[in-house]
Structure 1
Amino acid sequence: METSAPEETATGPAGRAVGHGRGRVRERIVEAGSGLFYAEGIRAVSADKVIAAAGVSKVTFYRHFPTKDDLVVAYLGELAAAERERLEEIRSQHAGDAAGALAALAGALGEVARGDRFRGCAFVNAGAEFADPAHPVRRAVADHRAWYAAFLAAVARDGGADDPAAAAAELMMLRDGAMVCGDVDDASVVAPRLAAGFAAVLAAHRG
Structure 2
Amino acid sequence: MMNTTTKRPSPARERLITAATRLFYEEGIHTVGVDRVIEEAGVTRATLYKQFGGKENLVLAYLGHEDESLRALFAAAGQGVADPDALLDAVINGIAADIRDRHTRGCPFINAAAEYPDANGEVRRLIDQHREWFRATLQTVADSAGLERPEEVAASLVLLRDAALVGGYLDGEARVTPAFERTALAVIEAHRAG
TM-score, with structure 1 as normaliser: 0.82
Letter of the 1:57 partner, please give it.
T
Report the CA distance between 1:118 and its aligned residue: 1.8
4+ runs deviating over 6 angstroms: none
Q: 2:150 aligned with 1:164, yes or no?
A: yes
Structure 1 or 2, whichever has the larger Rg, is: 1
Distance 2:38 2:89 in 1: 41
Identity across matched positions, percent = 38
1:85-119: per-residue Cα shift (whole Å, max 9, x none)? Answer: 11122233433233x33333333333333348820
| Cα distance change of structure 1 residues 82 and 193 upon mapping to structure 2, 3 Å threshold | same
Give the 3 Å change call, closer, same or farther, for CA 25–118 of structure 1 in structure 2. Answer: same
User: Which range is displaced more, 23-32 or 88-97?
Assistant: 88-97
Find out whether 1:31 has 2:18 as its counterpart: yes
CA distance in 2, matches of 1:150, 1:112: 19
Aligned residues: 186
Q: 1:102-147: per-residue Cα shift (whole Å, max 9, x none)?
A: 3333333333333488201111111111111111111111111110
- Structure 1 residues without counterparts, runs of 5 or longer: 1-20
Is residue 64 of structure 1 aligned with residue 64 of structure 2? no
Aligned to 1:136: 122
Q: Tell me, what secondary structure is at the counterpart of 1:77?
A: helix
Matched, 1:94 2:81: yes
Q: 1:201 is aligned with what amino acid?
A: V
Name whichever structure is richer in helix by fraction. Answer: 2
1:127 paired to 2:124: no
Taking the aligned partners of 1:143 and 1:117, their CA distance within structure 2 comes to 19
SS at the partner of 1:161? coil
Question: What's the TM-score once normalised by structure 2's chain length?
Answer: 0.87
Contact 2:161 2:180 in 1 (8 A): yes
Q: Deviations over 1:1-28 (max 9, x none)?
A: xxxxxxxxxxxxxxxxxxxx97111111
Stretches of structure 2 lacking an aligned partner (at least 5 in a row): 1-7
